[in-house]
Amino acid sequence: MDGYQMMEMLSEEFHRICLGSSKKRSALYSTGCEKVNGCTNSDDVNVDVNGVQEFSPGQGQVLPILEKVIHLSTTVQELKRQHSTLSGEMSGLKTSFFADTEVINALQHLSEDHERLRLKFLKVSSERKQLYNEVVELKGNIRVFCRCRPLNMVEIGNGLGSVIEFDPSQDHELQVNCSDSSKKQFKFDHVFKPEDNQEAVFAQTKPVVVSVLDGYNVCIFAYGQTGTGKTFTMEGTEGNRGVNYRTLEELFRAVEDRRGIMRYELSVSILEVYNEKIKDLLVDSSDEPPKKLEIKQAAEGTQEVPGLVEIRVYSTAEVWEILRSGSRARSVGSTSANELSSRSHCLLRVTVKGENILDGHTTRSHLWMVDLAGSERVGRIDVEGDRLKESQFINKSLSALGDVISALASKTAHVPYRNSKLTHMLQSSLGGDCKTLMFVQVSPSAADLGETLCSLNFASRVRGIENGPARKQADVSELFKYKQMVEKLKQEEKETRKLQDNLQSLQLKLGAREHAYKSLQEKVWTNLLYGYSLSTSVSWRC
């Protein structure tokens, strides 16, 4: 029972007792009713002239009533005292609250500042996005990196030397020593030497992958002969993680960085294209035959694969396991796991849903990371039966990919996406505003010279059409200017975020004070009302 309920009960009790007492007095003095003989205990009964019995306190009850009256008077006094203390507290709080005009004014200013900064931030964000996009575009929407693996133990043991030379002053060039003693020069957007590690590779890749958070579709693929390091570059190993894992790690980092401004949802799918059939690598197909997956055109013009598993990911910790399980499923059912892996295209798709908290703008974009099938020519492998069929499918899809990239780079009206499952699936992420990055992987071994030249020629065609030397020359100074602008905008973005945090904490403080004030006010009013009614009742009844 709380204080108010107790007061209420006491008030009723008091009222009942007083009413009984007053009725008794009236009966005694105005109607002349007589006390019934023999009724001497405390529950005396009076009988009026009409024979109606009425409860009335006898002499033995007067004392308890008086005691109760005294007790109630004390309670009322106590309540009055509490009320006056609370009133005092309330008026003190009222004074301090309203006297604190500085805080109120500061909050008003902050509120205005917040609105101004919010608008500025939206403008700056959209400029940043635009500039960032321009920077990536200036570098080329289709970019080609070349990575050369080190000679392996077998090659060294066989006394094979490297046919590839790197000029230390040229990050973008390599030279191949041909068998006829001639030299062939190749130029790419970046060349990674055998000693370049996974960090160095990702440092160059990062600007492209982050575009997916701004709503751009991105496609990265590793192309090259079997054993040249496509899987090493894309997947890597537990202690030497590749582009796939590092990309997700970077995306989580950037998502955290943009918290409070953008809300993101990241999910991953892993699939394989083998002999022009799509297989979901995140489905356990050991129990039942795998579901047939097809590419469908969605209403908004994007390509979707209905039924493809998408796993929502929240942190890098769970990503590695998902990537490993996808990779394990890739080799299931193969008599020679490594060979099958090189005969299929493995695709990791990251779907990013973004929402700008400030203006409600939403985006949905895909980032594809593709470990392509080995590009070696049919002549070098077994050309009978299933292997011949596999090789034909691989050749067909790789040349379809080459055709698509060439068509995009030369801006022809028709882009032949539908010539293979691979290019059809990647349609929404190749061309237009999308960023494409190709890793051409090569072996330095003299034994692989022919394949190395084939891969480098293919990659040069992909790159050459898009980035003519004249355009690249003109872009360098512009690029520098844009880089500086992007840095400045990033700084402004940081400051805006800091101000927003300050405003938020001030708003919280104000809310807490308002709440305390309101609850105190309520308490005072309730006490005032109950105390007043009780005191009135007591003084009136007494």
- Known binding-site residue numbers for ATP: 224-231
Q: Which residue is nearest to ligand ATP (CB)?
A: 229
What is the DSSP annotation of 259-286?
TTTEEEEEEEEEEEEETTEEEETTS-TT
Select 216 or 223, whichever has its Cβ closest to ligand ATP: 223
Shortest Å distance, C-beta 357 to ligand ATP: 41
Shortest Å distance, C-beta 228 to ligand ATP: 5
Shortest Å distance, C-beta 423 to ligand ATP: 19
Which residues fall within 8 angstroms of residue 13, CB to CB, at 6 or more apart?
68
- Residue 49, both tokens: 């002239």
Question: Given the rule CB under 6 A, which residues bind ligand ATP?
Answer: 149-150, 224, 226-232, 338, 341-342, 374, 441
Shortest Å distance, C-beta 230 to ligand ATP: 4
What is the DSSP annotation of 385-402?
HHHHHHHHHHHHHHHHHH
Select 228 or 535, whichever has its Cβ closest to ligand ATP: 228
DSSP 43: S
- 368, with CB counted inside 10 A (0-12, 13-18, 19+), is buried
Which residues fall within 8 angstroms of residue 71, CB to CB, at 6 or more apart?
10
Reduce the secondary structure of 191-232 to three states and give it as a string. EECCCCCHHHHHHHHHHHHHHHHHCCCEEEEEEECCCCCHHH
Q: Could you tell me how many residues make up the chain?
A: 542
Contact 538, 72 (CB under 8 A): yes
Q: Is 181 helix (H, G, I), strand (E, B) or coil?
A: coil
- Residue 147, both tokens: 């990575």
Which contacts qualify for 1-10: CB closer than 8 Å, 24 or more apart? 4/526, 4/530, 7/75, 7/79, 7/530, 7/534, 8/530, 10/71, 10/72, 10/75, 10/534
Q: Can you say which residues are annotated as belonging to the binding site?
A: 224-231
CA-nearest of 185, 183, 200, 184 to 147 is 200
Select 230 or 435, whichever has its Cβ closest to ligand ATP: 230
Q: Is 42 helix (H, G, I), strand (E, B) or coil?
A: coil
- Residue 55, both tokens: 């409860």
Select 11 or 344, whichever has its Cβ closest to ligand ATP: 344
Shortest Å distance, C-beta 226 to ligand ATP: 4
Select 454 or 499, whichever has its Cβ closest to ligand ATP: 454
Select 380 or 497, whichever has its Cβ closest to ligand ATP: 380
Largest CA distance in the chain: 145
Shortest Å distance, C-beta 351 to ligand ATP: 25
Select 230 or 241, whichever has its Cβ closest to ligand ATP: 230
Select 132 or 232, whichever has its Cβ closest to ligand ATP: 232
Select 235 or 280, whichever has its Cβ closest to ligand ATP: 235
What is the DSSP annotation of 335-350?
SSHHHHHHHSEEEEEE
Question: How far is it, in rounded angstroms, from Cα 14 to Cα 525?
Answer: 23
Shortest Å distance, C-beta 271 to ligand ATP: 16
Shortest Å distance, C-beta 147 to ligand ATP: 6
Tokens 């105190």 correspond to what residue? 520
Contact 274, 280 (CB under 8 A): no
Shortest Å distance, C-beta 441 to ligand ATP: 6
Shortest Å distance, C-beta 341 to ligand ATP: 4
Select 255 or 281, whichever has its Cβ closest to ligand ATP: 281
